[in-house]
Amino acid sequence: MSLYQDASIQRKLTFVMLTTSLLGLSLACMTFEIYERASYRRALISELSALADALGANTTASLAFIDHQSAQDILAALRAEPHIAGSCRYDRNGNLFAEYRRNGKGAVCDKVAADSNGWRFQGESATQYRTISLGGEKAGTIAIVSDLQELHAKIRQYTLISAAVIFLSILTTLLVSSRLIRLITGPILQLAGIASRQAGSGSVPG
């Protein structure tokens, strides 16, 4: 703090301008990142809901005829979506009827939530649960799990772009402020110099 107090007017003004610019840009970048996350979540929820409705309706007949293989084949169509980690189809009692796993191993669905209806975001995945009805009665539930690699990739890319923008903005602020500040401090320093010289020469009364 003492170094800042002892700094010249020009350095103080430069520091104030840089701090203000950095704060404003940081807040703007943070706001856009939050908006990007929210937009991605809304788009992902909409996509998973549409997939859940379509697959739920297509596997209802397989469930009615207890055709596990047919339901497995229908769910396997999700391999065309690289971000889908897996899907599970449950019967009306919450028992697993068919499932699809992208990597072929590991659990992808939470059986505890088999009777729920909605979506849930976790650390590395998002899951959409959908209740399927047939003739006005519950015919089971379907769950679709998506990874969040695309979101993480977008955030990393956005962070790099934000860092580059902030760095270039700081350089631009330094270059521009050095010229503008001289226009402000020049007359002030000139007046200060005149006052200092007058005080140093001293006027002795006659």
Query: Does some domain include residue 206?
Result: no
Q: By C-alpha distance, which of 146, 147, 108, 113 is closest to 130? A: 113
Q: What confidence tens digit (pLDDT) does each residue in 61-86 have?
A: 888 888 999 999 999 999 999 999 99
Query: Does some domain include residue 98?
Result: yes
Query: Does some domain include residue 127?
Result: yes
**What's this model's pTM, rounded to 2 decimal places?**
0.74
- Cβ(70)–Cβ(89) below 8 Å: no
Query: CATH number, domain at 50?
Result: 3.30.450.20
Structure tokens at 204: 């002795």
Q: Which domain holds residue 135?
A: 10-192
Classify burial at 58, counting beta carbons within 10 Å of its beta carbon; exposed 0-12, middle 13-18, buried 19 or more: middle
What are the two backbone dihedrals, phi and then psi, of residue 131, each rounded to the nearest 5 degrees? Answer: -80, 130
Cα Rg for the chain, rounded, in angstroms?
32
Query: Does some domain include residue 199?
Result: no
Query: Does some domain include residue 99?
Result: yes
Query: Does some domain include residue 46?
Result: yes
Query: Does some domain include residue 115?
Result: yes
Q: What confidence tens digit (pLDDT) does each residue in 140-199 have?
A: 889 999 999 999 998 999 899 989 988 998 888 888 777 776 666 666 666 666 666 666
Query: Does some domain include residue 200?
Result: no
Crossing angle, helix 68-75 and helix 9-58, to 10 degrees?
Answer: 150
Number of domains in the chain: 1
Q: Residue 140 and residue 148: Cα distance in Å, rounded?
A: 26
